[in-house]
Amino acid sequence: MDLLNRMNLVLNYIEDNLDGEIEENKIAMLFAGSKSMFQRIFTLMTETTLSEYIRKRRLTQAAFDIRTTNEKIIDIAVKYGYNSAVAFNSAFKRFHGISPSSARKSGIQLQIFHRLAFTLALNLNQTGGNNMQYHVIEDAKIIIRKCTVEDSDALKSVIVNDNPRYMEDLAADHNKLTIAEYNGVVAGYLWTTIYMGHCQAFIYVSPEYRRRGIGTALCHEAEKKFREQTEIKEMWGYYYDFETIKFIDKLGFYFTTSSLEMEYKGGLIPEQKQDMIRKCRENDFPRCCDIWDKGCHEIRISDGYPDSEPEEPSEEKRQQFVGPETTNYVLEEDGKIVGTGCIAWDNYIGSLAVDKEYANKGYGTALAIYMTNEILRRGHKFAGLGCGAKNIIARHIYDKIGYKIAETIYASFKKIDETL
């Protein structure tokens, strides 16, 4: 345990000095040993060198500063140890795949190398607490509790103040929400869902109440909920601003990707291959699940998703497939299902996938157009969807139809902590 503490002291020192000089003698002092010994242990435990870790953390922080501040790029380069614009541009492009100036544009995918921390996992006996309606954190300042119908007005005020897209309707459905109070004021909320085998947590804290431990408390609450509801041991956190990555790091999330929230606000689109599309039947589930899971697995592999394995159909997925919140469709060729998609939450394309063997036949475009028109026929003013920032094929389809980027959503992954 003492070794881990000393390793973490060094990592904290490095993190605090990414924008300055990292001194070898300071590392040796904090580690209580030589720098070379620390480097050997670090490499053994992380499978990366210390210099590479520092380089990637500095380039991650440089991208954060470029995205969130108005500092000159050359000043940011010097701050993180680069003596020339040429050297910084070259290193930045190798790591992020784009130039520093391009990183200031919205909707651009940036690489993120999370800070490390060494921990020792212990299985602790847990007693009580499962039936509590709320619990108190940090000297009674933060209260985490179930949302009630009486919270509706306060919750709407919280949401309207910062207006995260697609979340407004949650104020009307209090049963899905957990509230965070700070000194008696509704300061944030948590929405958890398990969709197609994935634990997902949406956390929002009002700007004036951030950096007070509220987001951390809500994240821990999400993990508790998932432990009680499912055997799944991993979760995804979703957030709307790049600045949140620092918060995500501290909570132990170690993989981040991004998706583009897109909207279509035009009129009905000329249909393609309409006669090949129909609503799903319950016995279509195994084939649709197979197409969707294989497609997701390939995207995860290309994104660098950790521990990605093809998923198997489950009763939980089947219930969501036939549930009231989604309308599922299939596209058939000669009686065989080759594509599938669904409309979720009444005006959102929740999924779309085509069998890889039937790619480049326009089937993805046909399904996207059909579902977009169906949403418009329901009387909605726009249709929405999410598209992985690196999913070039899907992005091309949606661009061609007329979808426009509304915002970027970041998603981070972590194992659910069994010791909380």
Residue range 4-34, pLDDT digits in tens: 788 888 888 998 899 989 998 899 888 888 8
Whether the pLDDT of residue 357 is over 70: the answer is yes
Whether the pLDDT of residue 167 is over 70: the answer is no
More confident residue, 59 or 317: 59
Confidence band (pLDDT; 50, 70, 90) for 121? very low
pLDDT (mean) for 357-371 = 94
* pLDDT at res. 322: 59
Whether the pLDDT of residue 269 is over 90: the answer is yes
* pLDDT at res. 134: 43
| C-alpha–C-alpha distance, residues 25 and 28, integer Å | 5
* pLDDT at res. 128: 36
* pLDDT at res. 111: 76
Residue whose pair of structure tokens reads 């300061």 in the numeric block: 187
* Equal CATH topology for 2-104 and 134-260: no
Domain boundary assignment for the chain: 2-104, 134-260, 267-401
The least confident of 115-124, 142-151, 333-342, 366-375 is 115-124
* pLDDT at res. 303: 67
Greatest mean pLDDT among 25-39, 228-242, 392-406 lies in 392-406
pLDDT (mean) for 68-85 = 89
| Strand segments (E) across 269-395 | 277-279, 326-333, 336-344, 348-354, 383-388
Q: What are the residues whose beta carbons fall under 8 Å from the beta carbon of 235, sequence distance 6 or more?
A: 199, 200, 201, 222, 223, 226, 413, 414, 416
Confidence band (pLDDT; 50, 70, 90) for 156? low
DSSP state of 148: -
pLDDT (mean) for 224-234 = 79
- The pTM of the full predicted model, rounded to 2 decimals, is 0.57
Q: What is the pLDDT of residues 272-319, one digit of tens each?
A: 999 999 998 888 888 988 888 888 777 777 766 656 666 666 666 666
Q: Let me know: does 411 contact 245? Beta carbons within 8 Å.
A: no
Identify the three-state secondary structure at position 348: strand
The mean pLDDT of the chain is: 79
More confident residue, 115 or 315: 115
Q: Which two tokens stand for residue 365?
A: 């475009």
Whether the pLDDT of residue 211 is over 90: the answer is no
Confidence band (pLDDT; 50, 70, 90) for 129? very low
* Range 2-104 classified under CATH 3.40.50.10580: no
Q: Which two tokens stand for residue 76?
A: 């940011």
| Strand segments (E) across 50-176 | 134-137, 142-146
| C-alpha–C-alpha distance, residues 96 and 264, integer Å | 29
Residue whose pair of structure tokens reads 């104020």 in the numeric block: 171
Q: Which two tokens stand for residue 199?
A: 């634990």
Q: How many CB atoms lie within 10 A of CB 192?
A: 21
Topology adopted by domain 267-401: Aminopeptidase (3.40.630)
* pLDDT at res. 364: 94
Whether the pLDDT of residue 327 is over 60: the answer is yes
Residue whose pair of structure tokens reads 């000297």 in the numeric block: 139
pLDDT (mean) for 404-413 = 84
More confident residue, 185 or 329: 329
Q: Which two tokens stand for residue 331?
A: 């596209």
* pLDDT at res. 308: 60
Q: Which two tokens stand for residue 311?
A: 């998923």
* pLDDT at res. 305: 66
Alpha-carbon distance values, 160 to 37, 155, 167, 293 (Å): 53, 9, 10, 36
The least confident of 68-82, 84-98, 237-251, 322-336 is 237-251
* Range 134-260 classified under CATH 3.40.630.30: yes
Identify the three-state secondary structure at position 66: helix
Confidence band (pLDDT; 50, 70, 90) for 161? very low
Q: Which two tokens stand for residue 30?
A: 């904090």
More confident residue, 85 or 172: 85
